[in-house]
Amino acid sequence: MAVMTMVQAINSALETKLKEDPDVLCYGEDVGVEGGVFRVTENLQKQFGEARVFDSPLAESGIVGTAVGMCIAGLRPVVEIQFCGFVYPAFNQILSHVARMHNRTRGRYRMSMVIRFPYGGGIKAPEHHSESMEALYAHIPGLKVVIPSNPYDAKGLLISAIESDDPVLYLEPKKIYRAIKQDVPDEKFTIPLGQAKVMQEGQDLTLVSYGAMIREAQKAVVMAKKEGYSIELIDLRTISPIDRETLAQSIRKTGRVLSVTEGPKSFGVGAEIISIANEEAFLNLEAPPTRLAGFDTVPPYPRGEGWYFYPPERIFYEIKKLMDF
Amino acid sequence: MKSSSLSSYPIDFLKKLLKDMLLIRRFEEKCGQMYGLQKIGGFCHLYIGQEAVAVGSIAALDLNRDYCLTAYRDHGHALACGLCPNGLMAELFGKATGCSRGKGGSMHMFDITKGMYGGNGIVGAQIPIATGMAMRFRYKKEKGVVLCFFGDGAIHQGVFHESLNLAKLWKLPIVYICENNQYGMGTDFHRVSAVEDLSIKGAAYNIPGKQVNGMDVLEVYEEVLSAVNQAKEEGIPTLIEAKTYRYKGHSMSDPGKYRSKEELESYKQQDPILILKNQMVDAKILTEEEYQSYDEECKNISNESVRFAEQSPEPSLSSLYEDVLA
């Protein structure tokens, strides 16, 4: 057991799999010598050599396209794209090939890759350096989308992602890369994909979030407790496939659901959670299923950041509205 | 020195080149300071060391009709196009008086009235955009040219190759200028490029390629001017690789540990500002006192831009929804 930040925990997961499985390779711009833009892959090249951890040009379509070929040839590439907003040159590869190759070949090819990239705001940078586009990928059949909210989960989920025979988009909340320290086992452990985690049990309202917003949600839960409300907090952990069962059970119990996400509101993950509430718990509902999300605009440069991303006070305000409905 | 002797240039022209480079240097130093004080948020990529490339190239343009596009290291190009330092600093501060009204920040400097069609935060994104803009000149049969700046990292993006093919095929008046500052973030370009001479990459599309010393503003000017003329007169695109160097990290958050102090020092000995200054002093068309007074002036302009930015209003909450849809 060691105390780790999320950056260290992800590094530890990569180290674990590189050590265990010779088919695992890591590459992307700056990944080798420099250890990546956020130093997530630091020292891995020194430890495992240039054949397994290496630099590529900053050419995202090429990075992901070659990973498709490596998977077909039986390898397990883990590629890094520097920011969520830099993935789009590779979007064609992701949608047309990464997500579909398994289906297209009737299961003969397995896209056993992980595409890692930092996402989310709170670092005072505009649009492509701050955006949360998980809903785009969650909408594409054939992909798994994973977002950890703490170092422990980050390691266990990433190891599962690398071992998965499906392609996994692993989004890392850069705002909390180094903000949280936690005990994380040095040795290998896994957390199954597709399972949400009930972080705190409660009776009155189901609060659903993931990634960096979990911290804000936790603070709101404490504020709500002071007012006498018992909130059940769920960390989705895997955005797609979404854990319907855990959500349904919780919403049936509490009768109220509020989701908190970063990306633009319309057509987002919050809309999916509301649909699940309607489909699975309609007769139990005590208040309209509700979502808090980013505005339907691009994440603004620093002056607007405080408005765009939800502080705990606004989450609590929304909880109160639903409790008083 | 490859460029012809100084005497073939008007003195005022040389002084303008010198002043433009100095202003970029002092402005960028001020940006670095303001970033350290957390007045500037997000990411901030400084142009220090590369001044001769933007200044020498843009001096070959007619900014009333030509277009200039670059990527995220764009403060230098904006200043060379004549954008007001106050508006740039205010943009960096995220203030409503910024050249992009405080919504773009460091990577998104625009002023179409001055031929500056923007920085771009995405590596290589501007290359096909610039190529499309060059189509306008050809389609409308107008005499104009596009300068498209990008780095040694962007040249490996697929769109570079798609764009060069189209530029040649459609006979577009465009000059592609690869500012090879040796590092794509922390990666030495040798580690990710199959070829050492990036200017030969035009060959596959029958586009002429040239390497120039990007630390020598006059050499840059002459080569770009000749490419600009060829583009305007004959519709022949060119690829120029300007060998240059950035003194600071990729961005403010990069300590630049991937290169040695000796390497950095050796480039500082070929400083673009010092090269021109020394040439002018040797030719007796500039005195040390004059140079000092230019330097003072540029520092004052940079200080004033900070004052302006500090005192400017912040964008309103409602501005978040401005310009999402027309």
- Tens of pLDDT, residue by residue over B115-140, are 999 999 999 999 999 999 999 999 89
* CA pair distance B210, B61, nearest whole angstrom: 19
CA distances from A233 to A135, A182, A210, A250, B39 (A): 21, 19, 10, 9, 36
pLDDT band at B2 (very low <50, low <70, confident <90, very high): very low
- Domain over A197-323 is classified CATH 3.40.718.10: no
> Are the C-beta atoms of residues B48 and B271 closer than 8 Å to each other?
no
- CB of A46 less than 8 A from some CB of B: no
A128 neighbourhood in chain B, CB within 8 Å = 121-122
Count, residues in chain A: 325
Query: Is A126–B102 a contact, with Cβ atoms under 8 angstroms apart?
Result: no
List residues of A with catalytic annotation. Answer: 129
Cβ(A170)–Cβ(A146) below 8 Å: yes
Averaged pLDDT, B36-47? 93
Q: Do B43 and A308 touch (CB under 8 A)?
A: no
Candidate from B104, B121, B192 with C-beta closest to A56: B192
Contact A58 B94 (CB under 8 A): no
The mean pLDDT value of chain B amounts to 95
- Write down the ipTM of this complex: 0.80
Q: Is B316 a member of any domain? A: no
Distance CA A120, CA A176 (A): 10
Interface test with A, best of B38, B100, B109, B157 (most A CBs within 10 A): B157
Fill in the amino acid letter for B278: N
Q: Which helix (H) or strand (E) holds A65?
A: helix A60-72
The pair of structure tokens assigned to B175 is 């000059």
The pLDDT of residue B1: 45
* Average pLDDT score over residue span B47-62: 98
With CB atoms and an 8 Å threshold, state whether B121 touches A307. Answer: no
- The answer to whether the Cβ–Cβ distance between A58 and B153 falls below 8 Å is yes
Q: Which residue is closest to A307 within chain B, CA to CA?
A: B317
Nearest CB to A58: which of B105, B156, B324? B156
Domain CATH code at residue B167: 3.40.50.970
Comparison of pLDDT for A147 and B252, the residue scoring more: A147
Q: What are the chain B neighbours of A306 within 8 Å (beta carbons)?
A: none
Tell me, yes or no, if the two domains A2-184 and A197-323 fold the same way.
Answer: yes
Cα separation, A290 vs B155, in Å, equals: 46
Q: How far apart are CA B309 and CA B93, in angstroms?
A: 6
For residue B86, tell me if it sits in a domain: yes
| Nearest chain A residue (CA) to B191 | A55
Record the tokens describing residue B259, joined without a space. 């290169």
For A132-197, the DSSP string reads --HHHHHTSTT-EEE--SSHHHHHHHHHHHHH-SS-EEEEEEGGGTTT--EEE-SS-----TT--E
Judge contact between A256 and A288, C-beta under 8 A.
no
Residues A94-105: tens digit of each pLDDT: 999 999 999 988
- What sign does the CA torsion over B30, B36, B39, B40 have? positive
For A17-49, how does the pLDDT look when each residue is reduced to its tens digit (9 = 90+)? 999 999 999 999 999 999 999 999 999 999 999
Q: What is the pLDDT of residue A307?
A: 76
- Is B157 part of any domain? yes
CA A201 to CA B222: how far, in whole Å? 72
If contacts are CB pairs under 8 Å, which of residues 23-42 in chain B contact chain A? Answer: 41-42
For residue B236, give both structure tokens: 């022949």
Residue B226 has pLDDT above 70, yes or no: yes
Return the SS3 of B307: helix
Residue B143 in domain? yes
| Minimal-distance CA residue of chain A relative to B322 | A297
Write down the pTM of the prediction: 0.89
Query: Quick check: A307 and B320 CB within 8 A?
Result: yes
**Within-domain flag for B70:** yes
Share of chain A above pLDDT 70, in %: 99
Residues A124-149, mean pLDDT to the nearest whole number: 92
Interface A–B counts its CB contacts (< 8 A) at: 114
Q: Does the structure show a pLDDT above 90 at B227? A: yes
Task: State the Cα–Cα distance between residues B220 and B193, nearest whole angstrom.
Answer: 23
Our CA-based measurement puts residue B104 at a distance from the nearest CA of chain A, in whole angstroms, of 6
The residue range of the domain holding B158 is 6-304
Edge-to-edge strand ranges of the sheet holding A197-200 = A197-200, A231-235, A205-209, A257-264, A290-294
Shortest distance between the Cα of A58 and any Cα of chain B, in A, equals 6
pLDDT score of B326: 84
What DSSP string runs through B2-40?
A: -SPPGGGS-HHHHHHHHHHHHHHHHHHHHHHHHHHTTSS
Instruction: Give the pLDDT of residue A123.
Output: 78
Inter-residue contact A86 to A117 (CB < 8 Å): yes
Q: Give the tens place of pLDDT for each residue, A74-116.
A: 999 999 999 999 999 999 999 999 999 999 888 889 999 999 9
Residue B48, both tokens: 């220090």
Domain limits, chain A: 2-184, 197-323
Is the pLDDT at B3 greater than 60, yes or no? Answer: no
pLDDT at position A304 is 72
CA dist., res. A170 & res. A182, Å (int): 20
Mutate which: A27, A301, A305, A307, vs B, most B CBs within 10 A:
A301
Of the residues B34, B39, B43, B190, the best mutation for testing chain A's interface (the one with the most A CB atoms within 10 Å of its CB) is B43
Task: Report the domain count for chain B.
Answer: 1
For the cut 50, the answer to whether the pLDDT of residue A201 exceeds it is yes
User: Euclidean distance between the first and final Cα of chain B, in Å?
Assistant: 51
Q: What percent of chain B has pLDDT over 70?
A: 99
Q: b/e string for A21-56 if b means 16 or more Cβ within 10 A?
A: eebbbbbbbbbbbbbbbbebbeebbeebeeebbbbb
**CATH level 3 topology of A2-184:** Rossmann fold (3.40.50)
Residue B4 predicted with pLDDT over 90: no
Q: HSE-up of A47 (CA within 13 Å, CB side)?
A: 15
Q: Of B103, B185, B258, which is closest to A301 when you measure between CB atoms?
A: B103
How big, in percent rounded to 5, are the helix, strand and coil portions of chain B?
50, 10, 40
Residue A226 confidence (pLDDT) above 70? yes
**Does the structure show a pLDDT above 50 at A181?**
yes
Q: Do A301 and B104 touch (CB under 8 A)?
A: yes
